[in-house]
Amino acid sequence: MSNDLAELLDRPIAFHRCFVDLGAGIQGALILSQAIYWSNRTSDHDGWFWKTRQQWDDETGLRRRQQESARAKLCKLGILEEDKRGVPCRVFYRVNWTVLGDLLKNVQTRRYKVRQLDGAKRTNKKAQNVPTITETTAETTSETTTPIAVADAPAKGTPAKPKKQRPKNLHFEAFRAAYDARFSEPYGAGTKADFVQLARFVKEHPGVTPERFVAVARFQWGRGEFIPGASRTIKGLCAAWPTLANQADEANGGAAAGGLTPGQRMTAEINILVREGMKAEDAAAQVHAKYRSEEPF
C-alpha cells in the first residue's frame, strides 16, 4: 500500500447505527457520532467544543445544506446544543447526554416490542404449519394410529338454523284427532294461523276445555251446513265460536256433549309428545301408564 493511500485511510470516523432511529436520519446520526467523539476530547469542563463548517465537511463529507439540516433536526430533538461566540463568530456544540440517554431507552424499548411481536408471529405461523399429530398404540402385533384433534374446525358456510318447534297445544291435538277420524283427508300439522288463532282463543276463553272445543266442532261438522264466517277449520271454528257454542248447547240441552273419548284423548297426548321429540313407542307407553294410574280401584 502506498503512503498516500495509507494516509488517506488513516482517519476513519465512528458511526453509531442506533442513532439513526432517534429521528434525525443517517446524516444526523453521522453528525452526532462525530460530536460525541469530540465531546470526549474537549478541554472544556462543560463539554463544549467548536468546529467550522469546513471541518464538518472534511470529517463527514456532508455539504453545507446537509450539515445545517442534520444539525437542525438534532437541536429540535434536544440532543445537540449550539452556541455562537466571539468575533469572528464561532459555533460551539455540546451533546445533551440526558436527552440522548432517554431517547436511546425509547429506541431500545421499541426494538424489544418489535422482537416480541415478530416472535409471536413466527410462533403462530409454525403452529399453523404443524402436521397432524398422531398417537400410536400397539397391542400384541396390531398398531392403531389415531389423530389427536387440537380443536374442532368451524364448519364452513352459515350453520343451518334450527327448526322452530310448534308450541304444545292440547286443543289443536284434540281437534286434529277428531278431524282425522271424521274426514278422509287428514288435517295435517297445522298452519301458523291455526296456532295464532288458538293462542288468542285460549286467552279469551280460558274455561273452554279441549273436549268442549271438539264437541262444538263435531256439532258443526254434523249439521252439514256452515253458518256465515264459519268453516270446518280451526280458524273458522274460532271465528264463529259464540254462535256455534250456543247452538250446540241448545241442541244438546245444555253444555255441548260428546267430547273426546278416552282413546282420542290419549291419541292427542301421544301426538304432542312425539312432536316434542319423543319416540312414538315411548310416548304411547308414557300416556298409557298415565291413564292406568288414573283408573279407579
CATH number at residue 9: 1.10.10
Domain final residue pick, 49, 78, 101: 101
Domain assignment present for residue 118? The answer is: no
Q: What stretch of H or E contains 60? A: helix 53-60
The three cell numbers of residue 260 are 273426546
Domain assignment present for residue 124? The answer is: no
Domain final residue pick, 49, 83, 101: 101
CA pair distance 34, 117, nearest whole angstrom: 34
Nearest CA to 71 out of 16, 15, 23, 32 is that of 32
pLDDT of residue 241: 80
pLDDT of residue 165: 57
Our measurement of the distance from residue 62's CA atom to the centroid of its chain's CA atoms, rounded to an integer in Å, reads 56
Domain assignment present for residue 111? The answer is: no
pLDDT of residue 72: 95
Domain assignment present for residue 56? The answer is: yes
Residues 194 and 285 in one domain: yes
Strand 134-139 and strand 142-147: the pairing is antiparallel
pLDDT of residue 255: 45
The amino acid occupying position 92 is F
Count structural domains, the chain: 2
Torsion of CA 260, 263, 265, 270, to 10 degrees: -160
Reported residue count of the chain is 297
Residues 174 and 288 in one domain: yes
pLDDT of residue 208: 84
**Residue 270 phi, psi (nearest 5):** -65, -40
Strand 134-139 and strand 80-85: the pairing is unpaired
The answer to whether 238 and 134 are in contact (CB under 8 A) is: no
pLDDT of residue 38: 92
The three cell numbers of residue 273 are 309428545
Domain assignment present for residue 110? The answer is: no
Long-range CB pairs of 72-80, under 8 A, 24+ apart, other chains included: 73/23, 73/24, 73/25, 73/28, 74/24, 74/28, 74/31, 74/32, 77/22, 77/23, 77/24, 77/103, 79/22, 79/24, 79/32, 79/103, 80/31, 80/32, 80/35
Domain assignment present for residue 153? The answer is: no
Domain assignment present for residue 137? The answer is: no
Containing structural domain, residue 248: 170-294
The CB density around residue 236, as the number of other CB atoms within 10 Å, is 18
pLDDT along the chain (297 residues), means of 10: 70 84 91 92 93 92 93 95 92 94 90 82 70 51 50 58 63 82 76 80 84 81 59 78 78 52 69 75 84 59
pLDDT of residue 134: 52
Domain final residue pick, 101, 124, 153: 101
Nearest CA to 74 out of 39, 106, 28, 35 is that of 28
Q: Edge-to-edge, what's the strand order for the sheet holding 49-50?
A: 49-50, 90-95, 80-85
Domain assignment present for residue 95? The answer is: yes
